[in-house]
């Protein structure tokens, strides 16, 4: 029983980070109708940016996250205005091709700059933990979980209660009506993609604290983010939290009872089940 409880706690902590990874992808997909295949590469760059700030500038990884977010926001904004805005009304296949191309370019640039070696972000408190009853909680993973969930809720409140957030929601729901109320699609789209990239950057920084990063982690992270976005629904950030937590727990239980090699099989099995039973996602709106 103690082992099962520990596995469940580990799955929940992992799921919070998964939710933050998927939030940027879901936001861009829901507003711009673009499945961003470069999302995982942006997470990877966020991990490297945080690692660089920690190793070269001596900035604590958690303190470096706002800097990483600003840098990735600027990169995402530039990508949307300079590249994706040119094909924003093109068929989805075109946007898939261009985001795949961006993913490849970013991966090769990361390899050129950082080599293909695995990197880890190891502050002095990386190995510390504390106990809660019979459960051991790693300090870094708990902090990463709290930041991930807090940031996801903050984005939900931002979308609900700010002018820009309402503009993003309006553009996602009815672009024609949004234009009538003074919403500029070009500005909203660029800001949304930049915000998605910033969230990916923070997720990458947290990922680097709990796992290893290299230039080629982007593909698997994009796939995982895609699964969570579908499970949770594209129109509700809280649904992404539920999807991330569910996936984290399912992967942990699968690794315990079946084997770690079947974690991805379980993930995509849950995706198929959700698409059959509830295509709009667990908390998505039904038509």
Which residues, 6+ apart, have CB-to-CB distance to 223 below 8 Å?
Answer: 40
Burial class of residue 165 (count of CB atoms within 10 Å of its CB; 0-12, 13-18, 19+) = middle
| pLDDT at position 1 | 60
Report pLDDT digits (tens) over 52-74: 999 999 999 999 999 999 999 99
- What average pLDDT does the chain have? 86
| pLDDT at position 203 | 95
Q: Which domains does the chain have, with CATH numbers?
A: 2-277 (1.10.3470)
| pLDDT at position 48 | 97
pLDDT band at residue 285 under the 50/70/90 scheme: low
The lowest-confidence range among 11-15, 152-156, 281-285 is 281-285
| pLDDT at position 287 | 46
pTM: 0.91
Which residues, 6+ apart, have CB-to-CB distance to 82 below 8 Å?
Answer: none
Report pLDDT digits (tens) over 94-140: 888 999 999 999 999 999 999 889 999 999 888 888 887 778 888 88
Query: Could you report how far apart the first and last alpha carbons of the chain are, in Å?
Result: 42
């Amino acid at each position: 029983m103690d082992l099962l409880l520990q596995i469940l706690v580990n799955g929940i902590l992992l799921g919070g980070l998964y939710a933050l990874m998927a939030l940027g992808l879901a936001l861009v997909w829901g507003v711009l109708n673009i499945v961003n295949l470069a999302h995982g590469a942006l997470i990877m760059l966020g991990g490297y940016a945080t690692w660089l700030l920690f190793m070269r500038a001596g900035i604590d990884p958690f303190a470096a996250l706002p800097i990483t977010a600003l840098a990735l926001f600027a990169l995402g904004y530039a990508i949307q205005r300079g590249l994706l805005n040119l094909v924003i009304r093109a068929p989805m296949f075109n946007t898939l091709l261009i985001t795949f191309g961006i993913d490849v370019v970013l991966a090769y640039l990361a390899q050129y700059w950082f080599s293909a070696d695995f990197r880890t972000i190891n502050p002095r408190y990386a190995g510390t933990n504390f106990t809660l009853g019979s459960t051991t909680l790693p300090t870094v993973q708990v902090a990463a979980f709290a930041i991930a969930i807090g940031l996801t809720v903050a984005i939900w409140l931002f979308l609900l209660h700010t002018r820009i957030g309402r503009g993003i929601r309006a553009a996602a729901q009815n672009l024609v009506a949004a234009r009538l109320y003074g919403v500029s699609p070009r500005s909203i789209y660029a800001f949304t993609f930049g915000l998605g990239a910033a969230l990916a950057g923070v997720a990458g920084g947290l990922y680097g604290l709990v796992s290893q990063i290299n230039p080629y982690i982007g593909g698997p992270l994009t796939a995982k983010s895609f699964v969570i976005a579908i499970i949770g629904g594209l129109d509700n950030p809280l649904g992404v939290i539920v999807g991330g937590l569910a996936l984290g727990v399912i992967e942990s239980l699968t690794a315990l009872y079946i084997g770690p090699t079947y974690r991805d099989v379980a993930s995509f099995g849950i995706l198929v089940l959700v698409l059959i039973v509830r295509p709009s996602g667990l908390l998505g709106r039904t038509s």
